[in-house]
Structure 1
């Protein structure tokens, strides 16, 4: 059966009412043997139903059936082993393989976990580990693993942001969490994010970012991606900030004043967090369907503000993608250079 072919699955209760089951699935049916699988679904009060599978092999010559039941954990392990064996079967030569999809790190959010599991499983083999130790420079190996896993993590993060935007997820806390985990998205101008959000009585910022050049802090304020950023005035023929953006800009003005006063010599309880004439960035709305004239209008409105910049989530995504491409290109160039010098 083709993997894209639609499947009709009839799940119905057993006569006992204790479990449900599906139709018998024919795995093999020849003149000598018939192998079938029957899925069973065991309900649980506080979790999803547990899948078990009964395998039945019937010898058509003597008519003797042989049955075996695999529980949910058995099936997961079996599925993983089958996937690994099928992947290796596609290779022409015998050998030792790390089985994971390194070519799809940009589309699989769990790819880094797969890579770590595969590498860990391989290194658990004493023969494989001793061969690596004899023939590979440990520093080179460590650098290669570190770079590959790091690029995989960045690709996974970009994919997560893309999916959130594509699926229309609009809650601020989704993007707050994403930005807290991936502060690198704001570029090389910043070292890292602070865990501090309280800057004054009643004032909690979304993100405090440490400048790479000065060590001083700037503010990032995150708003919903489904809100309008700028609007067009047909009467006066000009673009202007939407209500939601204008409110965010006003909010940032207050935050900037508070942070400048409170952290000029370090926050009272966090003296290492300092700010002097800080800047703020508002992230709001989408721009993936904008025409160039509207993008130019946003640039013009930003250029006439002092200390505050407004950007869209699509611009943030483009910034992340560009940074990822640069890191990947640098890594590829380094591999080429090392290959030529070897």
Structure 2
């Protein structure tokens, strides 16, 4: 039987038929190791003077013994949490352990509040996030998005998956765009991937085609020794040009202006994201340059061009 050296008890609460006790005891060891246990229990009072106390409940048992490690953890928990909790703080971040994984839950809870406008105002007004940290977070988020983009290029995703990625990372399309508009419908028959507000305040359009699915950029045969667009690319260019035309037709429509949030239309331009260029030769790169310069309101980018731009903006290739 374990030898006990020293015992200290206290009645925490006494009722007519039940008593709650806390008892310390020390278990001696041949080493200098300290081993103090704590027993907490709620017991039935004996009916006669010579009777013994029994746990109030056996299932579950209303008695618990904490060993040295558990007892010390309980002390730490009470010291760190009791006073803030008593004052009404249900969740807080201890500054002596700011990077514990548990603290991430509290930070996520704050930034998950539904009223984003009020949250942004609170963060800005109180300088919660220093400019250096905000810039670092933005670069880290962009670098993570680039890695996700590279991974997606090796998978066979549907076009709507790519739309979602571009929706979340519109910065890769260039600094000429301020924001993606909520509206995608040009009219009842033409639905773009993205209607954009450019930095000059006017409306532009972005159209993307998935990089997989057998779509080819170049025709399988040369024309007089020159690389020419494939039928797939020609169809995509025709569709993008049609969108530009239909947007211009809607330029004076009050209903269209309302649907796009008041963003005016003057000589709209389009970015078409189509195909891959990671295995092009020098002649194909030159042909691409020639084709692109022949358009005055349309720019064709491959997914690899977008990737190169994203790596540069995010600082990965800096």
Which structure carries more relative contact order (alpha carbon 8 Å, separation 6+)? 2
Shift of 1:158: 1.1
CA deviation map 1:247-275 (0-9, x unaligned): 11111121111101213466253251321
Match of 2:57 in 1: none
Distance 1:235 1:156, change over 3 A: closer
Distance 1:141 1:287 in 2: 40
1:181 Cα deviation from its structure 2 partner: 1.1
> What is the aligned partner in structure 2 of residue 107 from structure 1?
none
Q: Secondary structure at 2:156's aligned position in 1?
A: coil
5+ unaligned residues in a row in structure 1: which ranges? 1-94, 101-113, 124-137, 330-342
Question: SS at the partner of 2:308?
Answer: helix
Alignment of 1:58-73 (within 5 A): none
TM-score (norm 1): 0.54
**In the alignment, is residue 191 of structure 1 matched against residue 178 of structure 2?**
yes
- Over 3 Å counting, the alpha-carbon distance change for 1:115 and 1:293 in structure 2 is farther
- Structure 2, unaligned stretches of length 5 or more? 1-94, 111-125
Residue correspondence of structure 1 range 267-278 to structure 2 within 5 A = 267-270=256-259, 272-278=262-268
2:214 paired with 1:224: no
Matches within 5 A, 1:255-294: 255-264=243-252, 267-270=256-259, 272-294=262-284
Distance change (3 Å), C-alpha of 1:261 and 1:143 = same
Matched ranges for 1:45-124 at <5 A: 99=99, 117=104, 120=107
The counterpart of 2:300, out of the listed 307, 310, 314, is 310
The corresponding residue for 1:40 is: none
TM-score (normalizing by structure 2): 0.57
How many residues were matched structurally? 204
In the aligned structure 2, how far is the partner of 1:325 from the partner of 1:292? Answer: 26
Q: Deviations over 1:55-114 (max 9, x none)?
A: xxxxxxxxxxxxxxxxxxxxxxxxxxxxxxxxxxxxxxxx956549xxxxxxxxxxxxx7
Conserved? CA contact 2:210–2:275, under 8 Å? yes
SS of residue in 1 equivalent to 2:280: coil
Q: Specify the alignment match of 2:311 in structure 1.
A: 321
Secondary structure of 1:238 counterpart? coil
Relative to 1, partners in 2 of residues 1:177 and 1:141: Cα closer, same or farther, differing over 3 Å?
Answer: closer
State the shift of 1:234 in Å. 3.6
Query: For residues 114-137 of structure 1, what are the alpha-carbon distances to aligned partners after superposition, in whole Å with 9 as ceiling and x for unaligned?
Result: 79828949x9xxxxxxxxxxxxxx
- Please give the alpha-carbon distance, in whole angstroms, between the structure 2 residues aligned to 1:284 and 1:256: 17
Identify if the C-alpha distance between structure 1 residues 178 and 268 changes in structure 2 by more than 3 Å, giving closer, same or farther: same
CA distance in 1, matches of 2:276, 2:303: 6
CA RMSD of aligned residues (A): 2.9
Runs of 4 or more off by more than 6 Å in structure 1? none
Counterpart of 1:233 (choices 211, 221, 240) is 221
**Bigger radius of gyration, 1 or 2?**
2
